[in-house]
Structure 1
Amino acid sequence: MNGDQNLHDLADQFQALDPSMVMNPYEHMGDPQEMGYENSGGMDPFYPASQAFAREPLQYHLYTSPRPETLQNQYFIADDLREELQKRSEAVYTAPPPGLNLPDETQGYHSLMPLEVTVGERRKFGSWYSTVYKAVNSTDGFPYALRRIENFRLNTQAAFSGVETWARIKHPNVVGVKEAFTTRAFNDNSLVVVYDYHPNSETLFEAYIKPKAPQFQNGRLQAQHNRISERTLWTYIIQIASAIKAVHEMGLAVRVIDVTKVIVTGQNRCRVSSCGIVDILMFEARHDIAMLQQEDLAMFGKLIVSLCCSSLTVMNNLPKAVETAGRHYSAEVKNILMYLLTKPHKNIRHLFELMKGQMLLELDDSLKAVDCLESNLMSELENGRLVRLLCKFGFIDERPEFARDLRWSETGDRYIIKLFRDYVFHQVDEHGRPILNLSHVLTSLNKLDAGVEERIMLVSRDEQSCLVVSYREIKSCIDSAFRELTTGAAR
């Protein structure tokens, strides 16, 4: 009864809710001009300037309104997970802003939208400028990430030979490679490599090294520190090491183990991106694969040092960098660094021997995360059952005509269904105010779906008649009416 009473009072809370007190999750979004988008006037860049309305983003707080604790874990996905998935979904379907002068289509990919800065200071990929775009494939309709290398002239098609090998690598910590091609759609000779798209991802550099704007805390403007925790650091070390092992076992070398190329795609989930590009760019400069794999491990050590010290310049003084990392992190981290940075002949399998204790902790955390996600999935499965039941209600209730009978939904078994709909959704209190009791709705629908023998009293709107029926009988009425509709639709 306490849970029912809490939900009974939910309506009053909603009615008293002041819209100005609801937090806007988009309040601190970055300026689109910082991403290189031109914006004339006060209009939102995601719409043409001729439009007379502003873009309305998804209001995540409407999807995650406060709920009674008794129902938090039983019927609903976790708020933070739902909001994250909603943001990813919106990122997938975000349309490119106008005025970017991008090609309408290239090699079967359309709706190109840059995912990084296209003006001002730009990072280079080796000796070439590069840009990452999101684009939609015309064949399967899925979005992909396209990394374009500008002003690159391919001398031989044999340079693409390694892409097929990269495409066969299916690893949870390697961004999947789809294909590569050259194009003149950007008015130059461009190399484009297509990867799986992970919405709302960010690089390790953006997450832990790039300086953050100071924020007010306790009435004072204070700098934000990016130092990564040791538990999270070990999570990234193990995941990246696993990716390196998978690549090396395929007879390849990663060659892009850098904080600007490893992306964070979820809660403590990282993936090595931009794989295969260096193989194409440096195809004519033949290298021994064993030497390149040794360089991978050395680059891995530099990445760990950069994360420990939150800086890209620490490698200018290696002894001081290792000393700084040793002050803030455990001796195990320092041992890994010394092995990767000073050992002349390194082996990825030996590296796993050095961190086997941490791997057990990582396995435990991974299994806990799986249990959490399965729990959230189970709640969504329950919601799916109720949605299917509500869809049947929608097909039957208030149907204007069926089989040339204008009162089909008001007669026979359908009348019982209508009364049950009023019992579930249209109850009022003694003052005539609507009762928005979510607990009552969910309990009634679950009992109906199970077809329990419990009996309830259904009262007509004019209160002149009432029926005492069981949930099993109401379910039978719904199934019968829906079968009648199904038979009529099949004729």
Structure 2
Amino acid sequence: MRSETIRGVAPVGVSLPEELQGYHTLVPLEPSGTGVERRKLGNWYSTVYRAIKTADGMPYTLRRVENYRMMHPSAFAPIEMWSNIRHPGIVPIREAFTTRSFNDNSLVVVYAYYANAQTLFDAHLKPKAPTYQPHGRSHILQVPSTVIPERTIWSYIVQIASAIKKVHDMCQAVRMIDSTKILLTGQNRIRISSCGIIDVLVHDTPQDIMLLQQEDLTMFGRLVFALCCNNLAASSAAHFQKSLEMMGRLYSPEIKNVALWLVSKGSPHRTIDQLLEVIRGHVLVEQDEALMATDRLENELLSELENARLVRLLCKFGFINERPEFAREPRWSETGDRYIIKLFRDYVFHQVDEHRNPVLSLSHVLTCLNKLDAGTEEKIMLVARDEQSCLVVSYKEIKSCIEGAFKYVFPTSLHLLNSTCHHSELARASAASVQAQTATTYGRR
């Protein structure tokens, strides 16, 4: 699904530049057209695109600020600062430039791209149409639930707090803690996007970092209110009391106390460290779950590495067995090593039951290939197809036969299939070749 998204093209009728400062194949990531409310960054309208970079063939997110005239190159200084901030809760910034390719003066800031990402607004706060669900012989109208589980709320709070601390420790302010700028990139996995743009837009206006950091905490509190109450205006004076009552019914008092502390104006010296101290128990829970997720991913990776080794073995079988150009070669006749390999292939893939019906046992195939890859001393009996002769050999001996036969065919390439490192280098080289060919093809258009 993500691969399909990355390779999508712009809808028919959308007029976009064919090339933009080394990027091509622009695709809008936000709805546009008549009746769609456009979002703004300060006093400027902005639009988000996905584009492919010609240099590396990778997708990136381009946020364009319309009708912005840059008066001095020093305005790009915040981009360099933000590009040095590395945090899992912040979308990495790559570069920024100005362009007239959209027939105006536009500022374009390039970020990392996350396929199928949603904003918190689209995922939780955007009104969802009711659906009809089957109920017996009829259908009933079902309204989607808008209540976010408390565990999910705490996960969001911890991730955002961690990102804010990183930025505040760098003596900067996030200024983008908004439901339309925070991306949901996986299950309960969020990242703050569009960082650095405001710093560029108001670079010539004096800024008090302490006040901006306080505003970060206030915006954080408003976001917590909005997510808990499913209302962007939940923390406003008109809805404040009703929002507190709703939070009291749906969530624990701890969440309500955190939200109240964040939006409170009575403490002018609030810091993100104070918040992290209050929610340290939930931080530990989040860390434990992150470690367990890492363990699960490592187990999945181990299984994939095993699959890669088995694929290389199967490739060797394909390269060795029954090569037509060696049909009349005495040194390659199906005797000796090649005969053992052929019998082993029959032992793995061509077994039959007592009624001479083919046996399809994937577990048998995987067990045999794993033992062959390890080169164990376990012995097996290989029976000729005419059942007139048999051989008793070990997996270690069969592995040696395969290596010798493969080396005979490809005397300088044996290490390429034996080494995972070289295998990865080949994959990267192949990808680079494809990207270069794509870039060349695009350049000819």
TM-score (norm 1): 0.78
Q: CA deviation at 1:381?
A: 1.8
Q: Say if 1:163 and 1:444 are closer, same or farther in 2 by CA, change over 3 A.
A: same
Give the stretch that moved more between structures: 142-151 or 209-218. Answer: 209-218
Where in structure 2 are the equivalents of 1:199-278 lying within 5 Å?
A: 199-217=115-133, 219=135, 220-278=140-198
What is the CA distance between 1:95 and its match in structure 2? 4.4
- Residue identity matched to 1:326: G
Could you give the per-residue CA deviations for residues 324-344 of structure 1, whole angstroms, max 9, x where no partner exists?
A: 222211111111111111144
1:349 corresponds to 2:273: yes
2:37 matched residue in structure 1: 122
Q: Which one-letter code corresponds to 1:191 in the other structure?
A: L
What is the Cα deviation at residue 250 of structure 1? 1.4
Cα distance in 2 for partners of 1:189, 1:224 equals 42
Deviations 1:50-109 (A, max 9, x none): xxxxxxxxxxxxxxxxxxxxxxxxxxxxxxxxxxxxx33333334445543221111111
Alpha-carbon deviation of 1:180? 0.8
Q: Could you say what secondary structure the match of 1:435 adopts?
A: coil
Q: Which runs of 5+ in 2 are unaligned?
A: 415-445
Higher alpha-carbon deviation: 90-99 or 201-210? 90-99
Residues 145 and 197 of structure 1 are in contact (CA less than 8 Å); yes or no, is this contact kept in structure 2? Answer: yes
Pairing 1:300–2:220 present: yes
Equivalent residue runs for 1:310-459 within 5 Å: 310-316=230-236, 317-344=239-266, 345=268, 346-402=270-326, 405=329, 408=332, 410-459=334-383
Give, in angstroms, the shift of residue 312 of structure 1: 1.5
Residues 1:404 and 1:488: Cα distance change in structure 2 (over 3 Å): farther
Distance in 1 (CA, whole Å) between partners of 2:333 and 2:163 is 60
How far apart, in 2, do the equivalents of 1:96 and 1:399 lie?
A: 47
- Indicate conservation of the 8 Å contact 2:379/2:394, yes or no: yes
Amino-acid identity (%)? 59
Q: Which moved more, 1:428-437 or 1:333-342?
A: 428-437
Partner of 1:149: 65
Give the letter for the 2:26 counterpart.
L
- In 1: Cα distance, 2:265 partner to 2:229 partner: 21
Residue of structure 1 equivalent to 2:435 = none
Q: Please tell me whether the aligned partners of residues 114 and 134 of structure 1 are also in contact (alpha carbons under 8 angstroms).
A: yes
* 3-state DSSP of counterpart to 1:436: coil
Which letter maps to 2:216?
D
Alpha-carbon distance in 2 for matches of 1:143, 1:318 = 42
Rounded to whole Å, the distance in 2 between the matches of 1:489 and 1:406 is 23
CA distance change for structure 1 residues 312 and 432 in 2, over 3 Å: closer, same or farther?
A: farther
Residues 406-443 of structure 1 show CA distances to partners (whole Å, capped at 9, x for unaligned) of 98363431122122112212233345543221101101
User: Residues 104 and 110 of structure 1 are in contact (CA less than 8 Å); yes or no, is this contact kept in structure 2?
Assistant: yes
Deviation for aligned residue 1:122? 3.5
CA distance change for structure 1 residues 402 and 168 in 2, over 3 Å: closer, same or farther?
Answer: farther
Count of aligned residue pairs for this structure pair: 404
The equivalent of 2:432 in structure 1 is: none
Amino acid at match of 2:288: D
Q: Which deviates the most, 323-332 or 254-263?
A: 323-332
What SS class does the counterpart of residue 429 from structure 1 fall into?
A: coil
- Structure scoring higher RCO (CA < 8 A, sep ≥ 6) equals 1
Alignment of 1:26-175 (within 5 A): 87-120=1-34, 121-126=36-41, 127-175=43-91
2-side partners of 1:406 and 1:92: how far apart?
Answer: 52
Structure 1 residue ranges without an equivalent (≥5) = 1-86
* Counterpart-to-counterpart distance in 2, 1:436 and 1:130: 58
Distance 1:297 1:177 in 2: 22
What SS does the corresponding residue of 2:410 show, helix, strand or coil? helix
Shift of 1:464: 4.4
**Shift in Å at residue 178 of structure 1?**
0.8
What does the per-residue CA deviation read over 1:172-221, in whole Å, with 9 as the maximum and x for residues that have no partner?
A: 00000111111111222211000011111111111111223333446122
In structure 2, do the counterparts of structure 1 residues 179 and 487 end up closer, same or farther at CA, with 3 Å as the change threshold?
Answer: same
RMSD of the alignment, in Å?
Answer: 2.2
Q: Is the 8 A contact 2:407 2:413 kept in 1?
A: no
- Tell me the TM-score normalized by structure 2: 0.85
The letter for the 2-side match of 1:105 is E
CA distance in 2, matches of 1:275, 1:203: 14
CA apart distance, 1:469: 2.2
* 362 and 166 in structure 1: CA distance in 2 versus 1, 3 angstrom threshold: same
User: Deviation digits for residues 366-402 of structure 1, max 9, x if unmatched?
Assistant: 1111111111112112212212222221221222225
Residue 438 and residue 240 in structure 1: after superposition, are their counterparts in 2 closer, same or farther (change >3 A)? Answer: same
Q: Which stretch of structure 1 is more off in the superposition, 281-290 or 374-383?
A: 281-290
Q: Which moved more, 1:163-172 or 1:468-477?
A: 468-477
Q: Mean alpha-carbon deviation: is it higher for 92-101 or for 207-216? A: 92-101
1:161-180 CA distances to partner (integer Å, 9 max, x unpaired)?
A: 11100000000000001111
In 2, the alpha carbon distance for the partners of 1:118 and 1:105 equals 21
The answer to whether the Cα contact below 8 Å between 2:177 and 2:219 also exists between their aligned partners in 1 is: yes
1:486 Cα deviation after fit = 2.9
Distance change (3 Å), C-alpha of 1:443 and 1:312 = same
Rounded Cα–Cα distance in structure 2 between residues aligned with 1:228 and 1:318: 19
* 2:438 corresponds to: none
Kindly provide the amino acid, as one letter, of the partner of residue 299 in structure 1. M
